[in-house]
Structure 1
Amino acid sequence: MLLPPSSSLYVNSTVQVDTTVGCEAYDRPYIPSQNSTTYEWWYFDAVSADGRSSVVLIPFSGPIVGSHYPQFLLQIVTPEGEIFNQLIEYGPKGIMYVSTIGDGSSGVIGDGDFVWVGKPDLGKYDLKVDLERYNVTGTVTLISAADPFVLCDEIGPGAATSDFWFLNWINLMGDAVAVVDLKVGDERVAFTGNGYHDKNWGPVHFRQYIHHWYWGHGRAGDYSVVWYKMVTYFGTIKSGAWVSKGGQTVVSACVEDNSVDVVPFGNNVTIPPNRPNDTNNIEGFNIAINGGEEGDLYVFVFEENVWTSGYAGTYARWIGNLTGGRIGGEWGSGVGVTEQMGPFVGPS
């Protein structure tokens, strides 16, 4: 499937939003034609093995942080702790192409500002940044260490993402080996570490429905982990977690109770968050997962090294250290990335 330039992508009418993931390529565009409310993005990140450097790359369309035309969001944390944030909006003549071979996607946004090439089996993604006007260039390579999955459903031909229809989510790389070689101005940001790739899409902006959302991923020893907790304005709580050990999935849970819980900690942390970006006093997150086939309990602790404020104060992101494992078993340590989105303003 191929997305044409945005001038022919955008339509002033109702559009089809696909929520069945297994009938075509997993990493395909799920909204081939966009209107003024729909959105879709491909998310990639990498964090260094010491948990102090990172890169996040998000090509997307839709009014998530700007207009409904193609945009590219880039964030880099350097080894010295400097933070580079850049949002590029391409306007009605902006170009964003996405094609698929097998289950993998390849795409380009702008005049080659960001290019990604995915293998048909989702085993590897090669990313290239060429933003000379912002003095940022280089490459990121992600080599998968986990099978794709859909939270709240089994991956396969009939898998669906419609559990929360306003925020569809498929995970293409829950964990990956990352090799990063970027140049930011005169500084080189080069590291190996953990990588990740997922994608989201929906018919309307999720801020109308979600009060706040915790999400993150990481690696702790032999464990690869993805977690989230979503709280809506209508009193619904949905949490989920995916845990893999040595490449084998041991937990894939989607619940509406506290059997999967994500709780921030720190000095005077407010739960639930009471204002946008009420985050710089958060020191980490406790993640408890009771969802193993044998009723096992898994506990992970994320401790932040670097806090970054997200776009327009609507989310925050941390990179840091992750420790944990199965209660009664051997624990491991590593690094991860986590976010708080919201609280948003709610229904209008």
Structure 2
Amino acid sequence: MRLSSVANPHTPCGDNRLRLGDTGSTGAVGIGWASLLPDAEASVDVLVGGETVRFTGVGYHDKNWSDGPFEAAVRTWYWGRGRVGPFSVVWFDMLPLGNDTEVVSGYVAVGREVIVSGCEEGVVSVRPWKNGTAAAYPPVLGDVPDGFRVVYNDGIEVDVTLGAMVAGDGKYYARWTGTMTAKMEGEVYEGVGIFEQFVMQ
């Protein structure tokens, strides 16, 4: 597998901070995250049963970690990434356990030009939808949306329609493939991505 970067790496706030949220916003547990390849051209060459299978697509690589149990810090978590038209997009929107202040991060780039990279309040908002209308937020155990509405503070609006669930149990955790439609300055763009939801409480 080869990944060739098409967008600059980023951290939650676009600076040297790797921790999600301010000190203490996730309780005693520190959670870190860095997106090393927020968007990449991917090529895969695999030998299966003696036959070579090759395919290409959109790639991504990040790393997250914590110094304690994830469930001790997180109540709910939305994360997504993909390429929609010329835009490389990455986001997360977390509600810490015992704290009603959302912790967010938003990233948008066109090639190497970074348009959004920050963690300030309002930089991005992620909300679930189901059956064509807004779903309950925050979600509770067992809530499975049909998609997400992602709004960046620079005017980019991304509508996610979830496809196949590729990991998780659908109760505490789910990861999906899916499609995206983005609207920016009167233009509409299409794309694909990967999306996830944690509901820990």
Give the TM interval when normalised to the shorter protein. Answer: 0.7 to 0.9
Give the 3 Å change call, closer, same or farther, for CA 340–184 of structure 1 in structure 2: farther
| Contact 2:91/2:105 (<8 A) preserved | yes
**How far apart are 1:246 and its partner, in Å?**
3.1
Matched, 1:305 2:163: yes
Which whole-Å CA distance do the structure 2 matches of 1:270 and 1:187 have between them?
Answer: 47
Equivalent in the alignment of 1:245: 110
In the alignment, residue 200 of structure 2 is paired with which amino acid?
A: F
In the alignment, residue 146 of structure 1 is paired with which amino acid?
A: A
Higher relative contact order (CA 8 A, sep 6+): 2
Choose which of 133, 143, 146 in structure 1 pairs with 2:7. Answer: 146
Equivalent in the alignment of 1:344: 200
Choose which of 130, 137, 143 in structure 2 pairs with 1:271. Answer: 137
| Contact 2:79/2:195 (<8 A) preserved | yes
Equivalent in the alignment of 2:25: none
Choose which of 41, 49, 67 in structure 2 pairs with 1:203. Answer: 67
Which whole-Å CA distance do the structure 2 matches of 1:146 and 1:222 have between them?
Answer: 11
Equivalent in the alignment of 2:26: none
- Helix, strand or coil for the counterpart of 2:71? helix
**How far apart are 1:232 and its partner, in Å?**
1.1
Which residues of structure 1 form unaligned runs of 5+? 1-139, 291-295
Which residues of structure 2 form unaligned runs of 5+? 22-28
In the alignment, residue 193 of structure 1 is paired with which amino acid?
A: G
Which whole-Å CA distance do the structure 2 matches of 1:144 and 1:325 have between them?
Answer: 24
TM-score in terms of structure 2 length: 0.84
Which whole-Å CA distance do the structure 2 matches of 1:285 and 1:312 have between them?
Answer: 16
| Contact 2:105/2:123 (<8 A) preserved | no
| Contact 1:228/1:241 (<8 A) preserved | yes
Give the 3 Å change call, closer, same or farther, for CA 340–163 of structure 1 in structure 2: closer
Equivalent in the alignment of 2:37: 173
Matched, 1:213 2:69: no
Which whole-Å CA distance do the structure 2 matches of 1:207 and 1:220 have between them?
Answer: 32
Which whole-Å CA distance do the structure 1 matches of 2:47 and 2:101 have between them?
Answer: 44
- What is the aligned residue count? 191
| Contact 2:94/2:104 (<8 A) preserved | yes
Give the 3 Å change call, closer, same or farther, for CA 191–207 of structure 1 in structure 2: same
Give the 3 Å change call, closer, same or farther, for CA 185–274 of structure 1 in structure 2: farther
**How far apart are 1:200 and its partner, in Å?**
1.0
Equivalent in the alignment of 1:68: none
Percent of aligned positions that are identical: 37
TM-score in terms of structure 1 length: 0.50
In the alignment, residue 304 of structure 1 is paired with which amino acid?
A: L
**How far apart are 1:147 and its partner, in Å?**
1.1
Which whole-Å CA distance do the structure 2 matches of 1:187 and 1:213 have between them?
Answer: 40
Equivalent in the alignment of 2:176: 318
CA RMSD of aligned residues (A): 2.5
Equivalent in the alignment of 2:147: 284
- Helix, strand or coil for the counterpart of 1:207? helix
In the alignment, residue 319 of structure 1 is paired with which amino acid?
A: T
| Contact 1:223/1:325 (<8 A) preserved | no
In the alignment, residue 271 of structure 1 is paired with which amino acid?
A: Y
Q: After superposition, what is the alpha-carbon deviation per residue over 1:69-121, rounded to whole angstroms, capped at 9, x for unaligned?
A: xxxxxxxxxxxxxxxxxxxxxxxxxxxxxxxxxxxxxxxxxxxxxxxxxxxxx
- Helix, strand or coil for the counterpart of 1:304? strand
- Helix, strand or coil for the counterpart of 2:36? strand
In the alignment, residue 217 of structure 1 is paired with which amino acid?
A: R
